């Protein structure tokens, strides 16, 4: 059995993620595929995540790919959270995500959707969203007209308000390839139909994409990343002829023959935004968040709630940015003193952030007083 060390695995993941060196000649969609999706609950953070990994790219390049070229799609992905995905990967995501069993709704009796109502809403969404971009209120009116008043009944508690009944079906509809996000209309979210695609079956392609990006991994880690049961993830692994390796004192799996790693260990400084895909997906988490990083940079064990300072492949601090006009004040809190080389590279990373976000960065080292993002 091949044995892989943490330094080897860390180095190869960073290369594949475009975090060792920004990738030349690639598109935002290429990197979204390599990352197995880009967390975009905070859309500016998703834009930063992608542009950071592309040589010379800015958030405008990501926006163009999303809203003009259509090579990216904003929709629901792993763990029911908003992601940017390569449009060409949509069949892969739908084939896998549509097979994940739905959990309990947690809503009071009478407030949920029956299977028949869910299917009726799927059909209504296909009808009203084809060729249209609708705000939430406009979509509510359209679905009520198409399916009946029950679709618009306000039964879902959300953010000190009540949402209409149809909102329960959005995640399911996204997983079925029926609905995705359109460009914001001012401060209003919009929905539209995703680009047409040829359906495929099976979850094996998504499992393959995950293992290429984040392997070696276990079914338990796959289940945690995707937000599904260990039973589902174990069955997904069993469908592939995977190679077992020794990793970090245990067993894990990679794609057949995928055991090569760079000779050089991970090096360099990176400023990762909120909910960057790498620290959320890369396991084991205690290796990525060593020592004090586990307490300072995780939120009750959850990754993503803080922007992270990545030092030589592991978390070495947190940071925060505050924008005022063109000025971007970047405060970096380090967990250990920086070497002169790291200080120089941190300055380069701050300048790169300014390029990506079209601002004038001002870097300071000090305590970050902003709490974790919800």
Going by C-alpha positions, the residue among 321, 294, 295 that lies closest to residue 307 is 321
Residues 210, 255: Cα–Cα separation, whole Å: 10
Of the chain, the percentage scoring pLDDT greater than 70 comes to 100
What pLDDT, on the 0 to 100 scale, is given for residue 102?
81
Enclosing H/E stretch for 357: helix 340-357
Q: What is the number of residues in the chain?
A: 374
The pLDDT confidence band at residue 101, using thresholds 50, 70 and 90, is confident
Tell me the mean pLDDT in the region 262-287.
Answer: 96
The token duo for 138 is 């406009």
Q: Exposure pattern of 319-353 as b/e (b: 16+ CB <10 Å)? A: bbbeeeeeebebbbbbbeebeeebeebbeebbebb
Residues 81, 223: Cα–Cα separation, whole Å: 15
The pLDDT confidence band at residue 88, using thresholds 50, 70 and 90, is very high
What pLDDT, on the 0 to 100 scale, is given for residue 160?
77
Tell me the mean pLDDT in the region 81-109.
Answer: 91
**Considering the chain, what is the average pLDDT of its residues?**
95
Residues 10, 36: Cα–Cα separation, whole Å: 17
Tell me the mean pLDDT in the region 246-271.
Answer: 95
Q: Kindly report, residue by residue over 231-256, the tens digit of the pLDDT.
A: 999 999 999 999 999 999 999 999 99
Among 23-37, 94-108, 170-184, 330-344, which is the least confidently predicted range?
Answer: 94-108
Q: Is the pLDDT assigned to residue 104 strictly greater than 80?
A: no
Q: What is the pTM of this model?
A: 0.94
The pLDDT confidence band at residue 30, using thresholds 50, 70 and 90, is very high
Residues 116, 113: Cα–Cα separation, whole Å: 8
First to last CA, the chain: 42
Q: What angle do CA 343, 346, 352 make, to 5 degrees?
A: 150
Q: Are 317 and 311 in contact (CB under 8 A)?
A: yes
Q: Is the pLDDT assigned to residue 327 strictly greater than 90?
A: yes
Q: Write down the residue that tokens 């790169």 correspond to.
A: 352
Q: Kindly report, residue by residue over 162-178, the tens digit of the pLDDT.
A: 899 999 999 999 999 99
Tell me the mean pLDDT in the region 311-317.
Answer: 97
Q: Is the pLDDT assigned to residue 374 strictly greater than 90?
A: no
What pLDDT, on the 0 to 100 scale, is given for residue 121?
97
Q: Write down the residue that tokens 């029911």 correspond to.
A: 80
The token duo for 155 is 């039964």
What pLDDT, on the 0 to 100 scale, is given for residue 106?
77
Going by C-alpha positions, the residue among 17, 57, 7 that lies closest to residue 279 is 17
Q: Kindly report, residue by residue over 205-240, the tens digit of the pLDDT.
A: 999 999 999 999 999 999 999 999 999 999 999 999
Instruction: State the burial class of residue 116 (Cβ atoms within 10 Å of its Cβ: 0-12, 13-18, 19+).
Output: exposed
Q: Write down the residue that tokens 């029956």 correspond to.
A: 114
Residues 234, 4: Cα–Cα separation, whole Å: 22
Enclosing H/E stretch for 272: strand 269-272
Q: What is the DSSP string of 138-181?
A: HHHHHHHHHH-GGGG-EEEEETTEEEEGGGGGHHHHHHTTS-EE
Q: Beta-carbon neighbour count of residue 54 at 10 Å?
A: 21
For 37, left (φ over 0), alpha (ψ -120 to 50), or beta? left
Residues 314, 317: Cα–Cα separation, whole Å: 9
Residues 79, 227: Cα–Cα separation, whole Å: 4
User: Which residues pair with residue 243 across a beta bridge?
Assistant: 254
Q: Are 280 and 39 in contact (CB under 8 A)?
A: yes
What pLDDT, on the 0 to 100 scale, is given for residue 108?
79
Please name the residues in contact with 186: beta carbons below 8 A apart, sequence gap of 6 or more: none
């Amino acid at each position: 059995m091949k044995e892989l060390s943490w330094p080897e695995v860390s180095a190869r993941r960073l290369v594949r993620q475009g975090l060792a060196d920004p990738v030349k000649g690639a598109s935002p969609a290429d990197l979204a595929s390599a990352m197995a999706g880009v967390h975009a609950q905070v859309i500016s953070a998703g834009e930063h995540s992608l542009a950071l990994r592309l040589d010379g790219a800015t958030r405008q390049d990501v926006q163009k790919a999303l809203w003009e070229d259509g090579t990216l799609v904003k929709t629901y992905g792993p763990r029911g959270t908003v992601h940017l995905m390569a449009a060409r990967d949509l069949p892969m995501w739908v084939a896998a995500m549509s097979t994940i069993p739905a959990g309990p709704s947690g809503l009071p009796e009478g407030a949920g959707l029956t299977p028949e109502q869910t299917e009726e809403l799927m059909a209504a969404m296909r009808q009203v969203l084809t060729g249209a971009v609708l705000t939430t209120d406009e979509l509510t009116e359209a679905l009520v007209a198409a399916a009946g008043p029950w679709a618009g009944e306000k039964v879902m508690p959300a953010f000190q308000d009540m949402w209409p009944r149809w909102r329960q079906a959005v995640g399911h509809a996204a997983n079925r390839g029926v609905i995705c996000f359109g460009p914001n209309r001012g401060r209003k979210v919009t929905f539209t139909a995703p680009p047409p695609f040829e359906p495929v079956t099976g979850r094996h392609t998504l499992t393959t994409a995950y293992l290429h990006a984040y392997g070696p991994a276990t079914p338990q880690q796959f289940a945690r990343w995707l937000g599904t049961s260990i039973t589902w993830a174990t069955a997904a692994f069993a469908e592939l002829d995977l190679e077992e390796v020794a990793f970090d004192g245990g067993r894990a799996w990679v794609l057949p023959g995928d055991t090569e790693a760079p000779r050089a260990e991970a090096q360099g400084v990176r400023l990762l935004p909120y909910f960057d895909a790498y620290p959320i997906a890369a396991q084991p988490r205690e290796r990525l968040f060593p020592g004090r990083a586990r307490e300072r940079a995780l939120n009750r064990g959850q990754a993503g709630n803080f922007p992270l300072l990545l030092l030589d492949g592991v978390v070495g601090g947190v940071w925060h940015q505050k924008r005022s006009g063109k000025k971007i004040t970047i405060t970096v809190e380090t967990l250990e003193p920086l070497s002169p080389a790291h200080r120089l590279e941190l300055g380069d990373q701050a300048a790169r952030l300014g390029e990506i976000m079209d601002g004038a960065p001002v870097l300071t080292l000090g305590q970050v007083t902003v709490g974790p993002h919800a």
